[in-house]
Amino acid sequence: MKLALAQLNPLIGDLSGNTSRIIAACKKANDQNANLLITPELSLWGYPPRDLLFNPTLIDLQWEMIKKIISHINTNAPNLSILIGIAEPTPDRLLPKLFNSIALLQKSGWEVIARKQLLPSYDVFDERRYFRAARNSGLLKLKTNEKIWHIGLTICEDLWVEEAIQGQRLAGPDPISDLEKKRIDLLLNLSASPFTHQKELLRQQIAAKAAKRLQCPVVYLNQVGGNDELIFDGSSFVTDCEGRITLSLPSCDESVCIWDSDFKTKVPERKIQEPQERILEALVLGLRDYALKCGFNSALLGLSGGIDSALVAVIACAALGSHRISGILMPSPWSSEGSIEDATDLAKRLEIKTKTIPINVLMEHYDKSLEISFGEPPKGLTAENLQARIRGTLLMAIANNKRHLLLSTGNKSELAVGYCTLYGDMNGGLSVIGDLYKTYVFELCEWIDSSKAYTLRETLGLKSDGELIGSAIRNKAPSAELGPNQFDSDFLPDYKILDRILKALIEERSHPQTLMDQGYSANMIKKVQKLLKQAEFKRRQAPPTLKVSDQAFGSGWRIPIASM
């Protein structure tokens, strides 16, 4: 059997456009004499469609699109069968009213052959809001070249049943155990699994375990592309019966590949990507797709001469091209000459357009206007936040006028403890590095400037040798420069300590005693906990944040603002 794997990049809710992608994949599959084409979970809709599933017009359009694909098969690929992901209405009026299903399309018509059993409702997932859980595993009998193939079908989470590997699992049935009894020849898993920095290896381990349990090859097909804050890296693969990977699809790229069951090949050597490479690739994809799918052709950011804005500028240039990126320098009386020079040099290295708008005069006007109300010029935190808000207002005005996507440059450490200003440096349509702790920002920038990154930089269209960020920026002590001789360390613990505590509290949900056992002081932990809680109202008003960790601030972070 020749199986075509279509690793597709859908636009959520664009059933017509997604149908065109599926038909284009049909043509490629048919040209290579494939018997079966498979597409990712909910491939007709894009994942996650969320409340678009409540739109009856889209449900009706779904049936028209299925007919369109069948018409293409009849005319152009009569020997090809296709599996697509659909939202299938239930036969009754009970809630939820949909199944997350796989439909088999052939020239003779179509039928639903599998429904998802394990519905994730944790972190960014809320499938139980929309879908009803199925009770049985799907099975497809497909005749090719005088052989009848018994093919097991699972949808994304249905494969994730290995508590010993995962550390936990959803309560519910074990679809792999059900398929063990059916003695299948092949397992297909159609997925829409978002990227996190450790997810790819975990997927491979889970699939390998299924292959060994079922004693058959496993095909893991994943969606690719950025959808709002979620990034889908693709990274689809096929294993043999022993769980060894025999075919790999590219990460962060749309593609159609053929797996031939008759073609015996040696297990290929896997290219081991460094963590920084995976993170950078994912962020570039996430920004590129967010901009293009939201209708932006260009992006804007404030360049401070600091490491955060420098990293965002590099990602933006890789995502959209340097000619589509604009940087604005907005020096105040407290901006050092070094920061202005560093920002200018960075822009030259990246070949991006810049404009300089000093904010001294605007600060004076605000001071005079507010003196009427305050009885004196603004001081302290009020004055510092005012600078950030002046800059934020200028950036939003330019973005509105030029139809740029404004990029927020704050990192996860700042968002966690509230070391950021609402309606100031938090302004933007997308937070690019809001899921990277400050220490990792430094680590990633160090890697980008090293020779280890040259190959990826060339692939991404960046200058392929020498420094991009620059040692002056990488070695500079972090500072918001909102006051004379101001440094982050004046207000916050050392980032190496702060980030370890934050990661334990946010991603690992560690008990404070665990941190104290590791040597962190009780007072330090309480201070960080207090800052984390107090900043919740700010994070609720932050732009969408590209998710690359197991726990990002965004749709998967649901902490009340008013709480103990």
Active site residues: 41, 116, 156
Cα separation of 72 and 61, whole Å?
17
Cis amide bond preceding 358, omega within 30: no
DSSP 273: -
Place of tokens 């500079």: 476
Cα separation of 393 and 359, whole Å?
11
Residues in the chain: 564
Torsion, CA 486, CA 491, CA 494, CA 498, rounded to 10? -140
Are 44 and 15 in contact by the 8 Å Cβ rule? The answer is: yes
Are 404 and 299 in contact by the 8 Å Cβ rule? The answer is: yes
Output the 3-class SS for 164-218. HHHCCCCCCCCHHHHHHCCCCCEEEEEECCECCCCHHHHHHHHHHHHHHHHCCCE
The amino acid present at 361, given as its one-letter code, is V
Q: Does residue 247 sit in helix, strand or coil?
A: strand
Strands 109-115 and 98-106: antiparallel
Structure tokens given for 73: 């098969």
Cα separation of 512 and 527, whole Å?
12
The H or E element spanning position 36 is: strand 36-38
Q: Does residue 79 sit in helix, strand or coil?
A: coil
